[in-house]
Amino acid sequence: MKNREDSKSLSRLRYTKFGHGYVTSPTHAKGSELDRLLELAQPQADWIMLDVATGGGHTALRFAPHVARVIATDLTPRMIDVAQRFVLSQGISNVEFRLADAENLPFDPDTFDLGTCRIAAHHFPDPARFVREAARSLKSNGLLLIQDQVVPEDLPTADYVNAFERLRDPSHHRTLAESEWVAIFENAGFRLEHIEQIVKRHSFQQWTEIQGCSPNAIRKLKEMLLMAPSVAEAWLEPQDVGTPQASFVNRHILIAGRKK
């Protein structure tokens, strides 16, 4: 496993190179769960919101009309630039973009009413530290809402799924199981309000193209889908591998906690 700073440097490097693709990525831009996150949060017009690891800016964009102000952060300057241009192009003016490390948030305690982080925490070397930082930055009774990939509780299968993701994107650190997220939230002082899992099917071709996978990496990824142990195969649900229609699923957790 990479150390913390190596992992963060690799994330900056890869998302400097591939960041623009995440504005148009169907997984990030068009996921129906954006509406579900809005429904779970029930944002108020006077709220100040923090969107951590904003990526292409889609969560900040979706929430901005419903709150007073959004602070959107990312570790990578290129992602900040791309997201800012995208959000401004949509006519949104109440989103401020800040360069920030999710595990060392540069904000005073008790600042935000709502914190979000969508499809990013699997890149964080220490997601528990991130959740503690989010708790520090939220007001009393503030809400933290996270969406991220999730792995099964079975450790060998979880390791297989993580290896599959890491082969495609070496900056993928580790996806957590639901029980790990529950423990992280509770240890950081949150009262859990909601947990659900959703299934997202991906075009294998688009999924590899967005990270610029080499032919060798693509070959190995196909092999992992074709040769997956039965439990991992049931989790990934590959279809039509070896054809242009090839696809598989990954599963995401939506978890909400209220600061005590």
pLDDT of residue 8: 81
**Burial of 42 per CB tally in 10 Å (0-12, 13-18, 19+):** exposed
Cα–Cα distances (Å) from 36 to 55, 80, 131, 227, 255, in that order, read 19, 25, 21, 34, 11
Q: Taking the domains of the chain in order of start, what are their residue ranges?
A: 4-153+171-201+251-259
In eight-state DSSP terms, residue 239 is B
pTM of the model: 0.91
Question: Which one of 3.40.50.2300, 2.10.109.10, 3.40.50.970, 3.40.50.150 gives the CATH number of domain 4-153+171-201+251-259?
Answer: 3.40.50.150
Share of the chain above pLDDT 90, in %: 86
Confidence band, pLDDT 50/70/90 cuts, at residue 32: confident
pLDDT of residue 82: 92
Cα–Cα distances (Å) from 245 to 44, 214, 216, 241, in that order, read 42, 19, 19, 8
pLDDT at 238 over 70: yes
Beta-bridge mates of residue 103: none
Helices 155-168, 215-226: inter-axial angle, 10-degree rounding: 160
pLDDT at 63 over 70: yes
Rounded mean pLDDT of 158-168? 97
Rounded mean pLDDT of 169-181? 96
To 10 degrees, the CA torsion angle through 169, 174, 177, 178?
-90
pLDDT of residue 52: 98
